[in-house]
Structures are given as structure tokens and as C-alpha cells.
């Protein structure tokens, strides 16, 4: 931590900061420049957590030099994390494809989808049973009934299943049926939920919040890991910007940035990122080429009547076409599909 003083700060202001730091058992390193004096804090900055140095007289700003996340930080854990979901490994040499409907609507819809995506080469079945919807009047999900269909689909196809949870109730139900919990974008900073998901020990797919910085995203992962659960997979799904041609703006840079800052695997969801079916293929290709560990792609037996997110869902034929087109690219990237 560095404290930058205002230009020509009085010596007594500098001394006051210095003494606060030293009282906490830390060391203050003073650099008196020709315009400003900066004070470097040497030692464990957690000891200063109850001091708001920013509001002392003549303090201009505080600059943090270390990240607040530790367990999710590549600096301290340089080896890539590999997460096992059933018999599938994420973060290794498989380009993991998760697919399925936005919302589980019926047993028939889900089973048909599970078989179709398996045939096309997908590894994990996704499906929402608890749907966070902007309007209270939109379809809210089948809840536990939906989870039971997920389990049935897994039993029939062998594909592990992932399902979003939105409350402690949902977690308590989900652990009985699914292989991986998903924390959705709107709950990325629902810290209560993160801790509860962490306690289950199940692998967690953590979607990036609509307006979350990469730092905040890794801090959210830190909540899960700190609860004793290192099995976290990140999922970039677009951030909110001024552009309206797509529903969100896929931050493709997050893939190399996460690879530089963290050891956690990262997958990309081009369906939610764009909200437009026609753009899903281009962005899937881009994500793989950028170095992602996998993709999450929405599919539906008949997107024209999907109860949620139909406009961005692929039909089974379109999904199969996509996986075919991905194969040579995945191969170039040194992975297999």
C-alpha cells in the first residue's frame, strides 16, 4: 500500500500518517519527491484495515499494490487448476462444451436436448430450474421438478449436469440432483450465496456480473475458495456497456487477462453475451481462439417456442454444425473436443 500526500504537504501531516502505520507494527518508507511525498507501507496491510488513511489531512490518495484475492491469485498459485465435474475435466486438454436449454420446460424437452447435444459432442448438460427474470410475470422455472429431469437426463446420457442456484433453498435441492452449481451473473456479488455454494464442495460455475470488474469477479471466486471449495470455473458472459446491437458486450479480453491473473479455468457463454443466435458461431470461434477452456451454448428443440431466451438458442442442427466447425480450430489450439 502506498499513501500519496498532497503537494507540499506539511511535515506534521506526513508524520501523523507515519505514526499510525508504525503503531500498527508496520514500517513506513518515506519518499520525499520534488512535488509530492509518497509513503510506502511495508508489512501486512490487513493490520491497517480499521484505519481509513484516505481521510487524514493532506492525503491525496491511497494506491493498493497487491490484489485482495489470494487463493484465486496466480502469483501465489502458479499451476492451473483442473476442475472435475463427473467424468469431465475442465482446464485440461479438453475443450469442454456445456449446452442445453436456458430453462428446463418439460421432461421431454430436456431429454431430447440431452441426447441431441451428446450426439453432437457436448460434454455437460446445462438447464435452468430457477430462473432469475427481469419481470415477475415471466416464466420463473420448474424448480425441484426441473432438477429431477436434469438428474434423469444425466442418468440416461451419462452427461454431468449443471444448474443455476439462486437461494439457499435452491442449493439444498440442487445438491441432490446435479454435478455442478452455477452462480448466475445477477448473483455474482450475492456473497451469502457464494459462501453457501462454497460449503457444498460441489464444483461451482461462477458467471461474471454484468458490471463486475475482473478484480471483483476474482474476489467473488475467493469467497467460494475461502469457504473450502477450490473447484471454481469462471464464465465470461458479456458485460453491460452502451452498445445495444448485442444484449451485452462479450469481453473477450477477459480470457487472456484471467489466464494472466488467476489459475482458475475460464469458459465463455456467447449465447448470453450477444442474445442473438446469428452471432453465436463467430463468438464461439473467437473464444476458443482466445484460449478459453470451454463454451456454454444454449440449445432448444424449437427455439421459436422457448420460454426463455429463444432468440439466442440454437436448434439441434445448428448446434451440430457449430461443433463440426469448431473441431479443426480446437485441434490447432492443442486441445480436443
Do the Cβ atoms of 319 and 116 come closer than 8 Å?
yes
Chain centroid to Cα 132, Å, comes to 17
Residue 225 CB, nearest approach to its own copies (Å) = 9
Select 83 or 307, whichever has its Cβ closest to its own copies.
307
> CB of 300 within 8 A of CB of 313?
yes
Beta bridge partners of 61: 4
List, in sequence order, every residue forming a beta bridge with 84; answer none if it has no partner: 89
Query: What's the rounded Cα separation, in Å, for the pair 24 and 229?
Result: 32
In the complex with its own copies, the residue whose CB is nearer, 150 or 330, is 330
Closest CA relative to residue 28, chosen from 13, 46, 43, 10: 43
* C-beta closer to its own copies: residue 261 or 263: 261
Which is it for strands 37-42 and 2-5: parallel, antiparallel or unpaired? antiparallel
- For its own copies, give the closer residue by CB, 90 or 185: 185
The answer to whether 300 and 273 are in contact (CB under 8 A) is no
Cell 442456484 found at: 165
CA distance 256 to 58: 39
- Nearest Cα neighbor of 29 from 43, 12, 48 is 43
CB 152 to its own copies: min, Å: 23
Nearer to its own copies, 148 or 279 (CB): 279
Coil, strand or helix: which one is 224?
A: helix
The owner of cell 473436443 is 337
Nearest-approach distance from CB 200 to its own copies, in angstroms: 16
- Residue 64: CA count within 13 A, CB half-sphere: 10
Question: Does residue 177 contact residue 150 with C-beta atoms inside 8 Å?
Answer: yes
**Which residues on neighbouring strands pair with residue 204, listed in sequence order?**
181, 232
Give me the least distance between CB of 101 and its own copies, in Å please.
13
Identify which of residues 145 and 305 has a Cβ nearer to its own copies in the complex: 305
Partner residues linked to 206 by β-bridges = 183, 234
CB of 162 to its own copies, least distance (A): 19
CA pair distance 2, 42, nearest whole angstrom: 9
Least Cβ distance, residue 117 to its own copies (angstroms): 19
Give whichever of 58 and 152 is closer to its own copies, judged by the CB atom: 58
Q: Which is nearer to its own copies, 77 or 118 (CB)?
A: 77
Nearest approach, Cβ of residue 100 and its own copies (Å):
17
**d(C-alpha 32, C-alpha 247), whole Å:** 50
Q: Which is nearer to its own copies, 156 or 169 (CB)?
A: 169
* Least CB distance to its own copies at residue 296 (A): 16
Min dist CB 20 to its own copies, Å, is: 9
Amino acid at each position: 500500500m502506498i499513501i500519496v500526500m498532497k503537494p507540499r504537504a506539511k511535515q506534521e501531516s506526513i508524520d501523523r500518517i507515519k505514526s499510525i502505520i508504525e503503531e500498527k507494527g508496520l514500517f513506513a518508507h518515506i519518499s520525499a519527491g520534488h512535488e509530492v511525498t509518497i509513503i510506502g507501507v511495508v508489512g501486512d496491510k490487513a493490520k491497517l484495515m480499521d484505519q481509513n488513511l484516505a481521510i487524514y489531512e493532506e492525503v491525496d490518495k491511497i494506491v493498493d499494490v497487491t490484489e485482495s484475492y489470494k487463493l484465486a491469485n496466480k502469483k501465489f498459485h502458479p499451476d492451473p487448476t483442473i476442475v472435475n465435474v463427473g467424468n469431465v475435466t475442465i482446464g485440461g486438454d479438453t475443450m469442454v462444451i456445456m449446452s442445453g436449454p436456458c430453462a428446463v420446460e418439460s421432461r421431454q424437452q430436456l431429454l431430447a436436448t440431452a441426447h441431441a447435444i451428446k450426439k453432437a459432442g457436448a460434454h455437460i448438460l446445462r438447464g435452468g430450474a430457477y430462473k432469475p427474470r427481469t419481470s415477475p410475470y415471466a416464466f420463473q422455472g420448474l424448480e425441484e421438478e426441473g432438477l429431477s429431469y436434469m438428474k434423469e437426463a444425466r442418468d440416461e446420457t451419462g452427461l454431468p449436469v449443471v444448474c443455476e442456484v439462486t437461494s439457499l433453498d435452491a442449493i439444498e435441492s440442487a445438491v441432490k440432483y446435479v454435478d455442478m452449481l452455477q452462480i448466475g451473473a445477477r448473483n455474482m456479488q450475492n456473497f451469502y450465496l457464494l459462501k453457501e455454494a462454497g460449503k457444498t464442495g460441489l464444483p461451482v460455475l461462477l458467471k461474471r456480473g454484468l458490471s463486475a470488474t475482473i478484480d471483483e469477479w476474482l474476489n467473488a471466486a475467493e469467497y467460494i475458495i475461502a469457504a473450502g471449495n477450490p473447484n471454481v470455473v469462471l464464465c465470461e458472459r458479456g458485460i453491460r456497456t452502451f452498445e445495444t446491437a448485442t444484449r451485452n458486450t462479450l469481453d473477450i479480453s477477459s480470457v487472456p487477462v484471467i489466464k494472466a491473473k488467476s489459475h482458475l479455468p475460464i469458459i465463455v457463454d456467447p449465447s448470453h453475451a450477444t442474445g442473438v443466435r446469428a452471432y453465436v458461431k463467430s463468438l464461439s470461434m473467437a473464444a476458443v481462439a482466445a484460449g478459453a477452456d470451454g463454451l456454454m451454448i444454449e440449445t432448444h428443440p424449437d427455439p421459436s417456442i422457448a420460454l426463455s431466451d429463444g432468440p439466442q438458442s440454437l436448434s439441434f442442427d445448428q448446434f451440430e454444425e457449430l461443433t463440426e466447425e469448431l473441431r479443426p480450430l480446437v485441434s490447432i489450439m492443442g486441445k480436443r473436443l
